[in-house]
Structure 1
Amino acid sequence: MQRRQFIGLIGSAAAWSRSARAQQPAGRAWRIGFLGYTPPTPAMVSALRDGLRERGYRDGQNLSIEVRSLLDQNPDVATELVRSGVDLIVAWTTLAAIAASRATATIPIVMVSVADPVGSGVVPELARPGGNITGVSNMAPELSAKIVQLLIEIVPGLKRVGVVRNPNNPSNIASLRETVEAISAFGLQLEVADAEGAEDFENAFARLSAQGVQGVVLLSDPAPLKHRERIAELAQKTHLPTVFQRRENVQAGGLLSYGSDLNDQVRQATFFVDRILKGARPSELPVEQPTKFVLAINLRTAKALGLEIPPTLLVRADELIE
Structure 2
Amino acid sequence: MKKKLWAPLMLGVAMLVVSACGNNNSNGNSANGESGASSSPSASASASASAPAADDGKQFKIAISQIVEHPSLDATREGFLAALKDNGIEEGVNLTLDYNNAQDDPTNNLSIAQKLASEKNDLILAIATPSAQAIVQNVKDSPVLFAAVTDPLDAKLVTDLEKPGGNVSGASDTNPAAITQLMDFIASDFPNVKTVGVVINEGEPNAVVMSKKAEEALSAHGIKLVKAAVTNTSEVKQAAESLVGRVDAFYITLDNKVVSGVDAIIQVANENKLPFFSSDRDTVEKGAFATVGFKYFDHGYQAGLMAVDVLKNGKNIGDLPVTMQEKLDLILNLKAAEAQGITVTDAMKQKVQDQETNIIQ
TM-score (norm 1): 0.85
Contact 1:89 1:108 in 2 (8 A): yes
Task: Tell me, in whole angstroms, the C-alpha distance in 2 between the residues paired with 1:130 and 1:142.
Answer: 26
Could you say which residue in structure 2 is the equivalent of 1:110?
145
Matched positions, count: 302
Could you say which residue in structure 2 is the equivalent of 1:22?
none
Contact 2:69 2:103 in 1 (8 A): yes
1:151 Cα deviation after fit: 2.2
Could you say which residue in structure 2 is the equivalent of 1:235?
269
Contact 2:330 2:351 in 1 (8 A): yes
Could you say which residue in structure 2 is the equivalent of 1:221?
255
Q: Identity rate of aligned residues, in percent?
A: 26
Task: Tell me, in whole angstroms, the C-alpha distance in 2 between the residues paired with 1:169 and 1:141.
Answer: 17
What is the 5 A alignment of 1:180-219?
A: 180-195=215-230, 197-210=232-245, 212-219=246-253
1:257 Cα deviation after fit: 1.6
| Residue aligned with 1:192, SS | strand
1:154 Cα deviation after fit: 4.1
1:51 Cα deviation after fit: 0.6
Distance change (3 Å), C-alpha of 1:94 and 1:193? same
Could you say which residue in structure 1 is the equivalent of 2:194?
159
Shifted more, 195-204 versus 295-304: the winner is 195-204
Contact 2:76 2:299 in 1 (8 A): no
Task: Tell me, in whole angstroms, the C-alpha distance in 2 between the residues paired with 1:113 and 1:216.
Answer: 22
| Residue aligned with 2:96, SS | strand
TM-score (norm 2): 0.76
Could you say which residue in structure 1 is the equivalent of 2:39?
none
Could you say which residue in structure 2 is the equivalent of 1:15?
none
Q: Residue type of the partner of 1:96? A: S
**2:128 counterpart (93, 107, 110):** 93
Could you say which residue in structure 2 is the equivalent of 1:173?
208
Contact 1:151 1:215 in 2 (8 A): no
Task: Tell me, in whole angstroms, the C-alpha distance in 2 between the residues paired with 1:255 and 1:39.
Answer: 22
| Residue aligned with 1:164, SS | strand
Flag the structure with more relative contact order, 1 or 2, with Cα contacts below 8 A and sequence separation at least 6: 1
Task: Tell me, in whole angstroms, the C-alpha distance in 2 between the residues paired with 1:276 and 1:145.
Answer: 34
Does residue 38 of structure 1 match 2:72?
no
Contact 2:272 2:340 in 1 (8 A): no
Q: Which runs of 5+ in 2 are unaligned?
A: 1-42
What CA deviation, in whole Å up to 9, does each residue of 1:31-81 have, x standing for no partner? 112222213655433322221111111211111222222326634122223
Contact 1:165 1:194 in 2 (8 A): yes
**Which structure's residues are more often helix, by fraction?**
2
Task: Tell me, in whole angstroms, the C-alpha distance in 2 between the residues paired with 1:173 and 1:224.
Answer: 13
1:282 Cα deviation after fit: 1.5
| Residue aligned with 1:112, SS | strand
| Residue aligned with 2:324, SS | coil
Could you say which residue in structure 1 is the equivalent of 2:32?
none
Distance change (3 Å), C-alpha of 1:65 and 1:151? farther
Could you say which residue in structure 2 is the equivalent of 1:150?
185
**1:80 counterpart (78, 102, 115):** 115
Contact 1:153 1:310 in 2 (8 A): no
Could you say which residue in structure 1 is the equivalent of 2:11?
none
Could you say which residue in structure 2 is the equivalent of 1:14?
none
**2:83 counterpart (37, 51, 58):** 51
**1:300 counterpart (308, 324, 335):** 335
Shifted more, 235-244 versus 81-90: the winner is 81-90
**2:58 counterpart (28, 38, 53):** 28
| Residue aligned with 1:307, SS | coil
Contact 1:162 1:213 in 2 (8 A): yes
Contact 1:39 1:68 in 2 (8 A): no
What CA deviation, in whole Å up to 9, does each residue of 1:205-263 have, x standing for no partner? 111114x2001110122334322333312221333211112111111111112123211
Distance change (3 Å), C-alpha of 1:294 and 1:60? farther
Q: Residue type of the partner of 1:233? A: Q
Task: Tell me, in whole angstroms, the C-alpha distance in 1 between the residues paired with 2:104 and 2:202.
Answer: 20
Task: Tell me, in whole angstroms, the C-alpha distance in 2 between the residues paired with 1:246 and 1:72.
Answer: 19
Could you say which residue in structure 2 is the equivalent of 1:20?
none
What CA deviation, in whole Å up to 9, does each residue of 1:175-226 have, x standing for no partner? 122111112111112211223533221121111114x200111012233432
Contact 1:206 1:238 in 2 (8 A): no
